[in-house]
Amino acid sequence: MFEVGGKVVCINGNFPWIKKYGGKRAPSIKPKKGEILIIDEILGEFLRFNVYDTSESFNWWIDNQFAPVDEFEIEDNFVEEALEKAEKEYKKDKPLIYIRNVYD
């Protein structure tokens, strides 16, 4: 379903911080609903996007908040339709979380 270098659309911008996954605080910026991102790394159920990494950490985001988007949908401005489709088809019964790995 997901692959490194693939494009995804954020279908839910709710990413609460869960302390048990590390880090000292939640990131100040998070993916926004409807935003198109390129996957830079995959770790199990988590995706990482370089645009949301900081000089202090890599940030990982649970995959059930994203849906794959193909080039046709993006080029023809069907992002809204893709978002609606994704909300129906790709929602999973997983908690809305992200993890944060700190460099030290």
pLDDT at 91: 56
pLDDT digits (tens, 9 = 90+) for 85-101: 666 665 554 444 444 55
Torsion of CA 64, 34, 49, 87, to 10 degrees: 10
Q: In terms of Cα–Cα distance, which of 50, 41, 33, 25 is closest to 100?
A: 25
Q: How many CB atoms are located within 10 Å of the residue 41 CB?
A: 13
Give residue limits of the domains in the chain. 7-102
Cβ atoms 18, 99 nearer than 8 A: yes
pLDDT digits (tens, 9 = 90+) for 26-85: 777 899 988 999 999 999 989 999 999 888 788 889 898 999 987 655 555 555 666 666
